[in-house]
Structure 1
């Protein structure tokens, strides 16, 4: 069933006039990119900032992955019809040009693509801001000679901060290192939940035997306790469920078919020590689903929420779906099952009583 199906058109009657629901053409195993791009299009603050960025672009601006993405979003947003199919050819060509990993027609990883995309577009925005600061300095405007890395709207929306903490069991010295993140990669267990996975993410781990810690204070290897704490939460929280595990005996990656329940409303009070965690409630708006038995073969689709309705995006196909379909991607209660549809990347937006706004720094 295509994006112009009567089922979709009938459902879209109840949707706002300004929204667009377009499938993406597949250019030979580009479902990994299509599913992530659909999820990001329905991240309202990301879309609004990107459209604002596109509106300010000079016609002679350098071509890069961000300008190609902005062009794609403008193309969707400016369509007269509510639904149809668009070919993201320019974006895919640029992606393959910028990263040889995505040049082959082999099955690619949606999480690797998301990680690369965030880093690539934030670098473009950072460079733009640095160029503005350099121009300001040349114009004799008082600015510091050593400017910190500019914070862009991509950082404001998706970037959080974690603290890697290490405590030596001998001298009790605690060393800590802050680290920024765009997403959290969570180890999963069978018949578990995202909430329990988040708790395990921040659980204390003892390093001993072959894994001892090199303590600078003691000057030798010591047993230590390692812990990761989330210091600051982002406005848009991306969770990556680590469904692919390397098995030594098989000499390859194996997909974990585990059932992992994820909530539509995620409360982080019991899972994070971040100062804002107690009151933080996140709403699920997108799920990138991996269909198949292994990493090197399979298919990606996106389930997205738009104006309280869920939709299914499978390359060119767009269909309205009930919320119950999203629950089927939790996985089977049986570890070895014929059920192949599993939530792989989850996107949550922080709950707010205010209407969606663009980030303050619209680079």
Structure 2
């Protein structure tokens, strides 16, 4: 794993390079020659400052506890090794973390390729489960968990024994969780029904020659429910035509946007990679919020899928640190010009020569940072 100075002025290259074999992904190994299967993701997570800070604090608070390894302790130890190193360059093999991932999920023990987005969801949800269990047993650090809305990718409110229970929230939620509101308006009585759902990332459909802004606009576009898709209105007590739309009720501190580049083609009976050109801006204004107030975000990391199909390829990471952009490709770390980001937008051609396409974007909420 490559890393750089801990010094504030020179913390440019301080990220991680792991070795495993991934779906369209990273060709990595655990330094013993054995091959596994999961995607490059930790460079982006390491440069996610709120997440890194919480993880290092967790390590500091729990390093003396004689407990069995879990995914959280292994990842915290890995981040601490990077953060505490005094060398300018070097390699840190994530052997402990890799072994734990394989033990935790059999999917990552084989040669099969795995998707970076699926791995991110697996990792974050596993961390949440561990923190919640620690909170229940009283073993967690003071800031491990607090009372608030929780429930990843599900309803915010929870019922227990007929009474509403105040859910819990961990520092993983504080970093990545946002809240969506699904609004449905009955076209007969005009009653609006709203249902809240939490999310760790937004998976959005993409179109050729589009932008993240237009894709997010389509994500929140109004959909008419009619014919067989009519909505059951509680006020009318019957199925009615309705209009439905999705809005962001609470923008997250770190906005993760997953571009749906892999689409199942029925005629082919398999998935195909969409090389569509989708422009992702350095600065993003999130306009599809409930309050209709613009929330400003700044791009700090991109996970790029390199390859022509979904079942093979490679992942690289583009990371911004101290106003400089770097490209992480296995053991190779190079500085890149900001203007070169457009190379990873995608292609307007059906069969492009360049197969390096932005797949997952990480944006930081500027208001949360300030």
* Count of aligned pairs: 336
The Cα offsets for residues 283-308 of structure 1, whole Å up to 9 and x where unpaired, read as 10000001111111111110000100
Q: Secondary structure at the match of 1:24?
A: coil
Deviation for aligned residue 1:18: 5.3
**Long gaps (5+) in structure 2:** 27-36, 143-162
Select which of 276, 295, 304 maps to 1:289. 304
SS in 1 for 2:169: coil
Which of 234, 241, 245 matches 2:263? Answer: 245
Partner Cα separation in structure 1 for residue 75 and residue 2 of structure 2: 21
1:50 corresponds to which of 52, 55, 70: 55
Query: Mean Cα displacement is larger for which, 115-124 or 81-90?
Result: 81-90
Pairing partner for 2:127 from 121, 130, 140: 121
Alpha-carbon contact 1:23-1:317 (below 8 Å) kept: no
User: Is 1:257 matched up with 2:275?
Assistant: yes
- Unpaired segments ≥5 residues, structure 1: 137-144, 356-363
Distance (whole Å) between structure 1 residues aligned to residue 7 and residue 70 of structure 2: 37
- Within the candidate set 320, 323, 328, 1:305 is matched to 320
Q: 1:292, 1:340 within 8 Å by CA — same for their partners in 2?
A: yes
Would you say the 8 A contact 1:165–1:226 is kept in 2? yes
- Offset at residue 67 of structure 1 (A): 0.8
- Aligned residue in 2 for 1:26: 19
Please give the alpha-carbon distance, in whole angstroms, between the structure 1 residues aligned to 2:164 and 2:186: 36
- Structure with bigger helix share is 1
Shift of 1:352: 4.5
How far apart in 1 are the matches of 2:224 and 2:343?
A: 36
* Aligned 1:208-227 pairs, distance under 5 A: 208-227=226-245
Q: Which has the higher contact order (CA 8 A, sep 6+)?
A: 1
Closer, same or farther in 2 for the Cα pair 1:40/1:23, shift >3 Å?
closer
Assess, with a 3 A threshold, how the Cα gap between structure 1 residues 197 and 312 changes in structure 2: closer, same or farther.
same
What CA RMSD, in Å, does the superposition of the two structures yield over aligned residues?
A: 2.8
Question: Does the alignment pair 1:321 with 2:336?
Answer: yes
CA distance in 2: counterparts of 1:119 and 1:353, whole angstroms:
22
TM-score of the superposed pair, with normalisation by structure 1 = 0.84
TM-score (norm 2): 0.83
Mapped to 1, the partners of 2:72 and 2:302 lie a distance apart of 23
- Secondary structure of the residue aligned to 1:293 is coil
- Asked if residue 85 in structure 1 is aligned to residue 81 in structure 2, the reply is no
- What is the 5 A alignment of 1:77-156? 77-132=83-138, 148-156=166-174
Match of 1:39 among 44, 47, 69: 44
Corresponding residue of 2:285: 267
Distance 1:15 1:259, change over 3 A: farther
In structure 2, what is the Cα distance between the partners aligned to 1:286 and 1:84? 22
* Residue among 187, 197, 211 paired with 2:205: 187
In terms of mean alpha carbon deviation, does 291-300 or 277-286 score higher? 277-286
Distance in 1 (CA, whole Å) between partners of 2:346 and 2:364 is 23
